[in-house]
Each structure stands twice: as structure tokens, then as C-alpha cells.
Amino acid sequence: MAGAVLGWSPKRFWRATPAELQGVVTAMTGAGQGGGDPPSPATLARLREMYPDG
């Protein structure tokens, strides 16, 4: 997969650490780009007070 999708040679693949491979896959798939819980009503109220101009 790394060879076909990332264009890595076998040598590059086997020299990569699991963290490097995970970082590349995360960057390519957009994982970790939000998708968490929405802000709570209390957080929204606090932000509205901090930034009243919207």
C-alpha cells in the first residue's frame, strides 16, 4: 500500500518508523481535523461575551 499510494520504495517503507507511517496516513486522510464534540452552550455563551461583534 505504501508503495502504491505514497510512492515509497521498499527500502523507504522498511526504514520508516510506525509513527512516520501513521503521520503520513493521518495527513493524507485528514484524520484529526476536527470532528470532535461541538462546543457546549456554556462555551458558546462565554465566546459570545468575549466577542460580542460576532
Q: So what's the pLDDT on residue 35?
A: 65
Q: So what's the pLDDT on residue 2?
A: 75
Cα–Cα distance, 2 to 9 (Å, whole number): 8
pLDDT tens string, the chain, 54 residues long: the values are 778 888 889 999 999 999 999 999 888 887 767 667 888 999 999 999 999 985
Closest by Cα among 29, 22, 42, 44 to 52: 44
pTM attached to this predicted model: 0.49
Please give the tally of structural domains in the chain: 1
Q: Which amino acid is at 39?
A: P
Cα–Cα distance, 29 to 51 (Å, whole number): 33
Task: Quote the domain boundaries for residue 6.
Answer: 2-50
Q: So what's the pLDDT on residue 14?
A: 94
Q: So what's the pLDDT on residue 34?
A: 67
Q: Which residue has the cell 510512492?
A: 7
Q: So what's the pLDDT on residue 54?
A: 59
